[in-house]
Structures are given as C-alpha cells and as structure tokens.
Chain A
Amino acid sequence: MRIGIMSFAHIHAESYVQNLRQAPDVDLIGFSDTDAERGQHFAEVFNLRWFPTHQALLAERPEGVVICSENSRRRELVEMAAAAGSHILCEKPIEVTLRDAQAMRDICAANHVRFMTAFPTRFAPSLLSVKAMLARNELGRLYAANGINHSEIPREHRAWFAQKALAGGGAVMDHTVHLVDILRWLLGCEVSEVYAEVDNLFYPGEVDVDTAGIVLLTFENGVFASIDCSWSRPTSYPRWGHFKMDLLGENGFVTVDALAQHLTLYSKRATRHPQWINWGPDSNQGMINEFVASIREQREPLITWRDGYEALRVALACYDSAHSGQPVRLEHG
C-alpha cells in the first residue's frame, strides 16, 4: 500500500517515518514539504524521497497520507488530499477553528475518503488495560479523574508550536486534546462543561501564546476531570513531559503513568541531564497500523474525524472559559 507524508512541519513526522517503514505491506513513497531547506534536510536524514510540492506527492496517487503540517495549515492539505482520493491520518489538533474542522469533514465525505485523527495514546497497553478494567466494572461507579499531560515548550523542536498564527494557541491547543480524547473514550460520553485557567506564565514577552493551563471538565455522566496541559517542564527536564491519569471510582482507584517504562541516562554527550529513554511499547506504531488496516479493510478507522473535532471543541472552549472566567457549557445534539 502506497502511503505518503504531507509536510514535516510537525515533529511527529520523524517518528511516523520509522512506523510506516515497519508497518506491514506499506510502501512509504516519500514526503512533501514546501520548505526546501527542511525538505532536503529530512530527505537526507531518512533517505526518503522529497517532493517540493504537495501536488507532486499526490500525483503519485498514494492510497493514504499522513498530514503533519502546522495546525492552521491542515485544512488546506486535507482538501488537496481528499480531492486526490487519498485517505487521511491527520495530526492533532485537527485545525484551529471549528469552521475549518467542519469543512474538512465535508470535503472528505464529498470525495469518499476516510479521516482518522492522530491520537496514538489510545494504543498504549496501559490505557487499553484501564479501558478493559472499566468494561469489567472493576472500579464501580466512576467519580473523577486527575490528568497530567504537561511538557516542555515544543518551540525548541519547531518554532511554530508557540506562534499564535500557525498553532492557533499554545499549551491548551497542544496538550488538552490527548487527555480529552482518552477520557471521552474511557467514559463513553461527551464533555458537557469546560472551565479553564489559562495564562502565559512561563515565557511572558517571549511567545504570543498561552504556556500554562489547568482545565476542569465535567462529562455528561457527571464525572469531573482535570487536565494539566502546561508547558511547565524546563527544556532540561529528562524527557519532553508526562502522560498520567488517576481515575477514582466507588471501588478504589487506578493510577496510570503511560510512559513509566524508561531508563535514566546521565551522559556527558546527552542534551538532558539526566535523560529518560523509553523502553515501553511505541503507541505510534499501533496507530499507524490501524490507519493502514482501515484503508486495507475499507472501513472507518477506530479514531475518526468526530473524535478530533470534539477534542478541538473542548480546547477552544478552554479559551472561551479563560476569557470569561466562568465555566462554558457544551451542547450535544
């Protein structure tokens, strides 16, 4: 199966190259990037064919594309890919406004291509085991969740992550959507209320986006859940950050540290002191395999446009709440 990557603006593209090369029966045909310097650099790093325009990549008729552009340039690429008949795996957050996200859904439907949102954490064995615990009702009635997805500021890797025009926001845009998606998936219902404290506490005057955020959500079933999405780790922290969650129910609680499986390296040659090296399973591989399987089996992927849309909706509601200083209700038809 022929798969291409559209844009290397998002750092995850670098991991997806490896994942696509390891996925069964995938022919990774190359990547497109309109930034020639970046294109030439990664073509060399990965020994991968670079297409200087997206249309040139799409002219090769890939059956699927992985879209790794800046947040605010996803709609444009989705429209090109859909028109070319390629199924889409799209980085998160899927866009920066609900109107853009809805337009993406419409163009995919019109061209009969499927849209998957890149939420790799759904493939983490730790979270799958929590999902199974809940299915067996081991925790009984669920009460609350305490989620952490805090990290370093990602601008060291790509500057646009901390630029309002391209990212649509900062820490809230970047790091609420993963836990929102996991909680929606675990609880099986939607977010009904959003409250958020949001600010630029860590890099005032340096960036024009938010860098600190604590979000408190209420779900339709009454469960409330917090998410710390702050860019609060220094760039010297042993790893980019954390993915953690405690879930409290009437029979006890479960605590998840999805990235607990790491070694600690203290090296004069490393950039972090110490540095954590993951030895746990690579959730990205499960996600890429699912994307490929959904194309091969001509079915909806496990994670759809709707999942990306609902998560974006919550992230945007955080900004509304922060602006008003009050909780925001979300209606679900």
Chain B
Amino acid sequence: MKIGIVGAGSMGHAHAPAWIELKSQGAELVGILANHMDSTVNTLAEQHGAQVYSTYEELLAAVDIIDLCVPTDLHHAMVVQAAEAGKQIVCEKPIALTVAEGRAMIKACHAAGVRLFIAMVVRFVPQYAIAQQTVAAGQIGTPAVIRLTRAAYQPRKATDNWFVDEQRSGGMILDLMIHDFDYARWIGGNVVRVFAKSVRASRPDAPDDYALVTLRFANNAIAHIEGGWAYPAGIFRTSFDIAGTEGVLEWTSDTAETVQSFLVNAPLQAAAEVGLPTALSAESPFTTELRHFYEALIHDKPFSVTAEDALAALQIASAARESLQTGRSVTIDQEAL
C-alpha cells in the first residue's frame, strides 16, 4: 500500500525509516508533505526515496494510508479530511486537543469506513510491553500501586516551536504525560479519579513543565505519574515501578545502557530538538508500532491499542489539567467517551 507522511519534525523523521523497514511487506512510502518552515523535508524525502508534495489534497490523492506527524491542533481537521477521502489513518498522539474533537475524529472515521490508529508508541517499547505481559501473566498478582516517570527537557525546535504553545500542543501534560496515562490504563484498567499539581520549573515564561498526577482506578488501584520538560537539555529519564498483591516489577532508565563509551576529546553531542528515550535494540519501537498497524490493517485484525484507548488517555490528561485549574480532584465520566 502507498503511504504519505505529513510533517517532517522529530516524528516524521522517526516514522519515515520505519516505513522503509516494512517495504518487504508491501508498504511503499511515496510522499512527504511539510510546511514551508520545515527545511528538512527535502532531505528526508530524498533519503527515503519519496516525493515532496506541496498540498495535502495532492498527497491524499496519491496514497492509501496517511501518516499524520503534525502538531496536535491540526489532528482533528486533517483526520476528518483524510477519512472523507477514504484513507486509512495513522495519527501521532495525543489524539486531539479535546475529548470532543477526539470523539468527532473517531466518528468521522467510522462513518467513512476507514481505520484510525493513534501512535501510542510506548506500548511498543520493549521493556514496557514485556512489563505489561508480566503483569497480565499474574506474576505480581493484582496491580495495586503503579509509579510511572517520564521526565525530559523542553522541546527546543529552532523554528515554530509549537510544543511550548499550550494552544497547539496542550502542553507537557497532553503531549508527554499522555504516554503514561495510557500505559497506566493498560496496566490498571479504567481510571475514575484524577488529581494533579504542577510547576513552571525550568523557565518562567514556559507553560507548566513539571507535574505530579495521581490516578485512582475503578478496581481501587492507585497510580503516581511524574512528567516533566524541566531537565537540562539532553536528559531524558523514564521509569516504572508496578507493585501488586504478589510482587513488584521495576525498571529505570537510570540503569546503564548496554554500551557506554568515554573518549578523550570526544565531540560534545548537541541535544536533539525533542527528547526521545534511547536504547540499543534490534528494532526501533516506531517500526514495531507501524508494523503492528500495517499487519492489522492488511489482515483485517484489531489494533492492540485503539483510538478509544487514546481518547481515554486524553480524557485523563484533560482531567489532570482541569484539576490544576480547580485545585480539586476530577471524577472521570466513562460515559463521556
């Protein structure tokens, strides 16, 4: 099937090589579209043997699958337009800025008979996937207290840094913590109550960039989610600690990488625009993620993470933001989905 990517930022750059990995299964990356401020689009397209397109309509007309790696405020309109054009859709997380928009996107895809896959990549990161399997196998009994951390530095795109504009990204809580809200749901099930505290730590002019959020689950389990864009550039820490009635499962990125080198006169590595966790592994989690999408699509099988899951994670993130506004806990209304 023919694929077109919209967006040549950090996610466009992560998805393009992943599609190339799926070539043998029939995936063909044919086009990339990016706005005029993204000067890297030509290089990205050239490296992956794709054409640069200048309008969304032209790209849609040329592909079977559209892969939206664009700022969050564009998700709703672009997904709806792609659905109306009858295209299968991959869309970066979070699904949308608001639950209402997200719901409308799911409805539009349903009405058009196309499938919508929200790229919740953490579900495809090996240590997170294996931890979930271990929990599902009953190794720790029933999850009781879940602690998740994802703490990085503020995205620092040289031009058009939409991440720091809350109107466009929803801020750190929607853009970054969404991963762990989704992961917490995967481990603990539905969430019923949310409470949050946040601070502007790294720069007075930036939106909230560090938050601690508590979740209460329908089965009474509790979660603590830490998220941040408050660290010095280049640092990205993630960890989980899942305590159940029969045991505990731990992992932290503070443990050593498989390979570390310490060289005299080594050039200082500049921090990437947007922090992404790194780990030397056989396959990029973006490849694993898009392979899952592609195989489920061509074999007509369900996605392991649905657009409804992505919407539920957004609902938790929105509740966390509401709690910050009100200073009170927020009850999640499952019916609202």
Contacts and interface: CB of A to CB of B under 8 A. Distances in A.
B261 A138 contact: yes
Interface string B253-275: 00111111111111000000000
A266 B259 contact: no
A296 B206 CA distance: 58
B331 to A, nearest CB: 33
A265 B126 contact: no
Given A139-B263, A251-B264, A268-B247, 17 more contacts: A130-B259, A251-B263, A252-B266, A255-B260, A257-B258, A260-B258, A262-B251, A263-B249, A263-B251, A264-B249, A264-B251, A267-B246, A269-B139, A270-B247, A279-B126, A279-B127, A280-B280
Contact of B261 (A252, A261, A262): A252
A126 B259 contact: yes
A189 interface: no
A270 B138 CA distance: 11
B140 interface: yes
Given A267-B140, A267-B246, A125 B282 contact: yes
- Cβ-closest 9 pairs across A and B: A267-B247, A281-B282, A126-B258, A252-B263, A279-B127, A266-B248, A254-B261, A264-B250, A279-B126
Contact of A125 (B131, B249, B258, B264): B258
Nearest to B139: A267
A237 interface: no
Contact of A260 (B134, B141, B255, B265): B255
A277 B247 contact: no
B138 A126 contact: no
Interface string A238-261: 000000000000011111111111
Given A125-B281, A268-B246, A257 B139 contact: no
* Interface size class, chain B: 20 to 34
> In this complex, which of A139, A261, A262 has the most chain B Cβ atoms within 10 angstroms of its Cβ?
A261
A257 B281 CA distance: 13
A36 interface: no
Interface of A: 124-126, 129-130, 133, 138-139, 251-270, 274, 277-282, 285-286
A252 B259 CA distance: 14
Contacts of A286: 282
A229 B251 CA distance: 27
A254 B259 contact: yes
A269 B250 contact: no
Nearest to B129: A279
B130 A263 contact: yes
Contact of A261 (B131, B248, B258): B258
B235 interface: no
B246 A252 contact: no
A129 B263 CA distance: 15
B264 A252 contact: yes
Contacts of A279: 126-127, 129-131, 251
A13 B328 CA distance: 57
Nearest to B240: A263
A15 to B, nearest CB: 15
Interface string B274-288: 000001111100000
Contact of B248 (A259, A260, A265): A265
Contact of A133 (B251, B255, B261, B280): B261
A329 B281 CA distance: 39
Contacts of B140: 265, 267
Contact of A265 (B139, B263, B280, B282): B139
B258 A269 contact: no
Contact of B246 (A124, A269, A274, A282): A269
A265 B265 contact: no
B208 to A, nearest CB: 31
B283 to A, nearest CB: 8
Contact of B258 (A256, A263, A270, A277): A256
A70 to B, nearest CB: 31
Contacts of B248: 264-267, 274
Nearest to B133: A277
A277 B129 CA distance: 12
B249 A258 contact: no
A129 B259 contact: yes
Nearest to A282: B282
B280 A138 contact: no
Nearest to A283: B282
Nearest to B255: A260
25 contacts: A125-B258, A130-B259, A139-B263, A251-B264, A252-B262, A252-B264, A254-B261, A255-B261, A257-B258, A260-B257, A260-B258, A261-B280, A261-B281, A263-B250, A264-B251, A265-B247, A265-B250, A268-B246, A269-B138, A270-B139, A277-B130, A279-B126, A279-B251, A280-B258, A281-B283
A279 B258 CA distance: 12
Contact of B262 (A253, A258, A270): A253
A258 B250 contact: no
A181 B322 CA distance: 59
Given A258-B258, A263-B134, A269 B247 contact: yes
Contact of B260 (A125, A254, A267): A254
A257 B257 CA distance: 7
B261 A253 contact: yes
Nearest to B263: A252
Interface string B124-157: 0011011100100011110000000000000000
Contact of B131 (A139, A258, A263, A281): A263
A138 B127 contact: no
Contact of B249 (A129, A138, A265, A280): A265
B257 to A, nearest CB: 7
Contacts of A255: 256, 259-262
B319 to A, nearest CB: 29
Nearest to B24: A24
